Amino acid sequence: MKRLGINIDSETFRLAFTHRSYSYENGGIPTNERLEFLGDSILGFCVAEYLYATFPLLPEGDLAKRRAAIVSTRALAMIARDLEVGEHLLLGRGEAQSNGSNKSSILADTMEAILGATYLVQGMEAARSFVLRFVTPLLEDPRLLGATTDWKTVIQEEVASQKLGEMHYQVTGSGPDHARTYLAELLIGDKVFGDGHGPSKKEAEQEAAHKTWLMLHPGEQLPKG
């Protein structure tokens, strides 16, 4: 994948994209799970190092929250989708048929495996460069501000406290079963507020709740998650 901008031999590259479901159907060949384990540790360190150097006045608690947001499954899956990582995954038939190539957990794990592979083949500086290029820019991404916040709970509590009326989600799905996407609309009373899209109902509803918070608080800074 040229978009990754990394130089990895074909064998290691293939390993980084081999999901356990593919291994089960192909004689138990090695999977990307060990690379994922390695990449997870490297990712945490590189992000912590970056935050420590970039925000010298932030207390430990705020640094931890920012790190949690940008090493989250949601953040890594966003990067993977932007890079079209799912198109290169080696999945078992069942996982492929259930839209595994777009599942956030699988995409996030694969990103960690790619980082682990980068470290093994090219060393720490290349791994750090990978993180700085793809991961740390998410600190400025509005889709991830407050990413560790449960927006559905936040909105539910706010609507109740302000007595804004009854609220509910209206969710519709579209597309074939193996590539299903969902649209969620959050209604307060009869009025539609935020809407959200995602590969699962939960993710679509979270985005709808997040957008509703923004509508109810125009011009305000998002709370740290």
- The count of other CB atoms within 10 Å of the CB of residue 168 is 10
3-state secondary structure of 204: helix
Task: State both tokens at 95.
Answer: 């996982």
What angle do the packed helices 104-122 and 73-82 form, to 10 degrees? Answer: 80
Residue 197 phi, psi dihedral angles, 5° rounding: -120, 150
33: annotated binding-site residue? no
3-state secondary structure of 164: coil
- 112, 203, 205, 207: which is the annotated catalytic residue? 112
* Cβ(173)–Cβ(181) below 8 Å: yes
- 40, 185, 205, 207: which is the annotated catalytic residue? 40
109: annotated binding-site residue? yes
36: annotated binding-site residue? yes
112 is catalytic: yes
- The count of other CB atoms within 10 Å of the CB of residue 187 is 17
Q: Which residues are annotated as a binding site?
A: 36, 109, 112
Q: Report the catalytic residues.
A: 40, 112
Q: Which residues are annotated as a binding site for Mg(2+)?
A: 36, 109, 112
